[in-house]
Structure 1
Amino acid sequence: MSKKVRVRFAPSPTGPLHIGGVRTALFNYIFARKHGGDFILRIEDTDQNRYVEGAEEYIVEALDWCGMPFDEGPGKEGRFGPYRQSERKHLYRQYADELVKKGKAYYAFDTSEKLDFHRKDHEARGKTFIYNWHNRLKLDNSLSLKPEETEKRIADGEDFVIRFLTPADEKLYLKDIVRGDMEIDTNTLDDKVLYKSDGMPTYHLANIVDDHLMEISHVIRGEEWLPSLALHWQLYDAFGWEAPQFAHLPLIMKPVGKGKLSKRDGEKGGFPVFPISWNESQGYREAGYFPEAVTNFLAMLGWNPGTEQEVFRMEELIQTFSLERVNKSGARFDPEKTKWYNQQYMQGKNDGELAELFSLALIEKKLLDKTWNTDYVTKVIALIKERAIFVSDFWELGSYFFVSPDNYNEKAAKKQWKGDTSEIMQQLLTVLESISDFSSEKIETIVKSWITDQGLSFGKVMPPLRLVLVGGMKGPHIFDIMGLIGQMESMERIKTAIAKLG
């Protein structure tokens, strides 16, 4: 690529960032990083009526949490700023006027009431009203008016919009990195509004002007913008500018496979659709997902590496990713697969790092004191983490490492605690008391020898021993548990169980 790669993620601050938007940002980010380019954040806030307080800050925080910091944008001003469209509105009118002077756009004075009348009239006749070549000369605009009349109405302060003049009877041949070659008949296109009567540009004009001025080389965006490609390509041509390369990403579909994934799907299915929480809606961060897991599963929604590999750290994504391997068809969202990805990253993390995260929960429970130090928590994590999907699972999987069970699984107790079990456990106490090196290996050797010497079956000793130590029939190797909680604690739990179950 001779031209420097510069891509932009350009969300509107109208609410939280949907994971579809995060996926778009991710593909832009890794494409830029792969080619040594720039990743730009541009806030497209031309629609002030839909502006939501805090949404811009949310977008920045979400990108940072996902490990996708932008190179230029609000707060990171480069030579192409400002990066909020509302702060660039003085630029757009001159470009709209330039198109009018070139004969590529025109002033339109049609009132909303008049346009509404035309729409309803067409509907009544089973037709669709389109403002373009076949009716523009019959409507209220500078094409149907004399130049002096147009100038007078503008001078008198009459409201107007500026519309693009779509040529008739032409074929557009467009290229898209994901979609391939496309052919569009201009007779099917309408004359889109480029500049509104409130003095603000529409998305179409602002988007093209900003991409040109910011020297954007590739526009990587969602499939929902595909219908706008013909207009955007024509605008570049009308200005005489070199167009960037376009790539339209497939939609993220509902888990059932039909329709675009929505917030309601998440609420119904009990899974997040936002990277971080927004008001009452939980985010992936708050649900306990690792950011690397989120970016990994998002990358696999619509992109195929061409191999069997599924787990990609960010560095690997950057090395492997190509827009040519992005699929055209929508990608079905699988909530269970997202959990699988989190589990993969869980298993790959250092036990000490997980212990630090789990320690936060222990502090909340007022359990992390001088007894349960970080080294102890790390050893616990090593024993239980392979069964965990989230850090929040650690408590359910290993609470007995920190507190004695205050009750016992009823079904297990009925099955495992026989008439002679109390007596066997009492004898076991004497054996445990005699062990000087209370390590897992030593305990196992001595206890198993004692069971054999006494002519007992392992089934008479081991299951009830697990029950009294854990409170149920779960957990890692029983002697690893004993070695970790210690001699005194192990014996106390046995004594308590004899008193309660005997």
Structure 2
Amino acid sequence: MAKKVRVRFAPSPTGPLHIGGVRTALFNYLFAKKHDGVFVLRVEDTDQTRYVEGAEDYIKESLEWLNIPYDEGPGKEGGFGPYRQSERKHLYKQYADRLIAEGKAYYAFDTPEELAAQRSQYEAEKKTFIYNWHNRLKLTNSLSLSEAETRERLDRGDHYTIRFKSPENEMLHLKDLIRGDIQIDTNTLDDKVLFKSDGMPTYHLANIVDDHLMEITHVIRGEEWLPSLALHQQLYDAFGWEAPQFAHLSLILKPNGKGKLSKRDGEAGGFPVFPLEWNAPDGGTASGYREDGYLSEAVLNMLAFLGWNPGTEQELFDLEGLIQSFSLEKVNKAGAKFDPEKAKWFQQQYFQQQENASLATQFESLLKSKGIETSLPVSEIVSLVKERATFVSDLWDQASFFFEAPTAFDEKASKKAFKEDTPAILTNVLGIMENVAEFNAATLSTEVKGWITSQEMGFGKVMMPLRLSLVGEMKGPDVFDIAAILGKDETLSRIQKAIETIS
């Protein structure tokens, strides 16, 4: 019987979650759901020196906002906890000891000073220092010392690390679900540190032990972990455990394609690289997609296309659609270039799908923040200007004239629209509008356009100054829709003011 798919997202709480990390979480989530599996959140906080207050809550809130919640993790027990590595410290020593007992690892007592001296010596000879099969018997460790000397040092409380004994003259055959077959000569690998005398494991040991104990079947992670794959596979082999299947996701690149996307790129380009705004304990802040007005569905859809493609022309997918279409076979090996304009495109597509009533509620909050109370039909206004907007803030740019009468008229447009006979024309329009039976867009359009036709006048001669009178510039929806929403009194008042200004 096939094992139940279990994947994990294992971030370190050292600051805000980069969108590269969010994409890793998303791909894990999509893979789990596609295969009716379990998505686990494990917080890798063994390095307490880099721990940042609030970072774990930020990670959880980000996943929640994006609607990719974890099935198991801190606060959601699933029988494989605890889910914070700092609460699992007691587990790791026994596994390090087991490797020592089986001759697959050894105690190393070299001091930082001794290792620094070795490095300097190698550098002087234009070589790179690697601690492994070729020199370990010349260094200070339990392979070069007698059993009695080793025991004496341990009893004395000397500082030590436990290093993995990487095999000599072997060819490792590794498999990656995205990159295919990989071969590595073990002679090029160093004897990585697995455990330190302060009782803390290194990332490598804790990671393998946790993945094994949590029954993780697939490890989907960023390509920065690719160099660790050889060690991780060797550790599984050393313990006699079945290794999960590995898939390493390519990097998210800067917009110019040169190098990894960073916080600095976002600051320079005026776009976020974090899901939510981050307020660091030291007072620093970084912008987030949520606070910049992006819809979570748009961000999710955009992230899915960074390194994955369904192989069709379709670009818009809701979460269910992504789950159905997702497969690791369609994840690219090459780095994915981040395009801030494409992010806005996704946002615009999803923004247009929003209900007018929902957008109106958000727009009303924006109006309130500007001190504007209104009795105008905000939902109707939204429906008229929405197609030119990408964010709620754009609704103000497109519709501010509904709430604030123009105090001046666009200079360039005025030169074109306001002629000598314009006051007389607008006075006629004023009279027509004052006397219409019903002050609605259809009636106003019929009456004013009928009069223009009867005068054998060009439409622009009337419609341009009329729009300027109501809006102050040449923008906005149909001019009669604007008049109908403003209402009779406000419309006539604005036209009268224009006549006086021109005259």
TM-score by shorter chain over 0.5: yes
Residues 1:303 and 2:296 aligned together: no
Question: Residue 501 of structure 1 corresponds to which residue in structure 2?
Answer: 502
TM-score norm. by structure 1 comes to 0.98
Determine if the alignment matches structure 1 residue 414 to structure 2 residue 415. Answer: yes
Match of 2:113 in 1: 113
Q: Which residue of 2 aligns with 1:203?
A: 203
4+ residue stretches of structure 1 with deviation over 6 A? none
Distance 1:48 1:282 in 2: 26
Give me the whole-angstrom Cα distance separating, in 1, the residues matched to 2:71 and 2:232. 25
Is structure 2 residue 77 aligned with structure 1 residue 72? Answer: no
Match of 2:406 in 1: 405
Q: In the alignment, which residue of structure 1 is the partner of 2:37? A: 37
Measure how far apart 1:79 and its partner are: 0.9
Q: Where does the alignment leave 5 or more consecutive residues of structure 2 unmatched?
A: 280-284
CA deviation map 1:81-125 (0-9, x unaligned): 111101111101111111111111111000001001101110111
Q: Does 1:95 align with 2:100?
A: no
Shift of 1:456: 2.4
- Aligned residue in 1 for 2:450: 449
Q: Secondary structure of the equivalent of 2:286?
A: coil
1:405 Cα deviation from its structure 2 partner: 1.5
Counterpart in 1 of 2:465? 464
Describe how 1:96-245 pairs up with structure 2 within 5 A.
Answer: 96-245=96-245
**Corresponding position of 1:269:** 269
State the secondary structure of the residue aligned to 1:261.
coil
The residue type paired with residue 123 of structure 2 is E
Cα distance in 1 for partners of 2:402, 2:274 equals 34
1:383-406, Cα deviation, whole Å (9 max, x unpaired): 111111111100001111222112
Q: CA RMSD in A?
A: 1.1
Residue range with higher mean Cα deviation, 402-411 or 313-322: 402-411
Query: 1:379 maps to which residue?
Result: 380
- Partner of residue 492, structure 2: 491
How far apart, in 1, do the equivalents of 2:477 and 2:428 lie?
Answer: 24
Task: Tell me the secondary structure at the aligned position of residue 426 of structure 2.
Answer: helix
Gaps of 5+ in 1: none
- The equivalent of 2:364 in structure 1 is 359
Aligned match of 2:478: 477
Shift of 1:197: 2.8
Query: For residues 209 and 52 of structure 2, what CA distance do their matches in structure 1 show?
Result: 24
Q: What is the distance in 1 between the residues matched to 2:428 and 2:82?
A: 79
- Normalising to structure 2: TM-score of the pair? 0.97
Aligned to 1:40, the other structure's residue is in SS state: strand
Aligned to 2:282: none
Does 1:322 pair with 2:323? no
Tell me by how many angstroms 1:198 deviates.
Answer: 2.1
Could you tell me which residue of structure 1 aligns to residue 288 of structure 2? 283
1:62 counterpart residue number: 62
> 1:255 Cα shift?
0.6
Alignment-mate amino acid for residue 314 of structure 2: Q
Q: Which residue of 2 aligns with 1:394?
A: 395
Mapped partners of 2:296, 2:306: distance in 1: 16
CA distance in 2, matches of 1:103, 1:484: 83
SS of the equivalent of 1:74 reads coil
Separation in 2, partners of 1:491, 1:433: 7
Counting aligned pairs with the same residue, the percent is 65
3-state SS, counterpart of residue 445 of structure 2:
helix
**3-state SS in 2 of match to 1:236:** helix
Question: Alignment partner of 1:48: what SS?
Answer: coil
The correspondence for 1:348, drawn from 353, 366, 374, is: 353
Which amino acid is 2:69 matched to? Answer: P
In the alignment, the residues of structure 2 paired with residue 324 and residue 271 of structure 1 have an alpha-carbon distance, to the nearest angstrom, of 30
Q: How many Å separate the matches in 2 of 1:359 and 1:176?
A: 51
SS in 1 for 2:172: strand
Deviations 1:130-156 (A, max 9, x none): 000000111100111111211111111
Which amino acid counterpart does residue 379 of structure 2 have in structure 1? Answer: T
CA distance in 2, matches of 1:199, 1:497: 80
Shift of 1:446: 0.7
- Report the alpha carbon displacement of residue 481 of structure 1 after superposing the two structures with TM: 1.2
Is 1:84 aligned to residue 84 of structure 2?
yes
* Helix, strand or coil at the partner of 2:392: coil
Query: What is the distance in 1 between the residues matched to 2:234 and 2:201?
Result: 17
Aligned length: 498
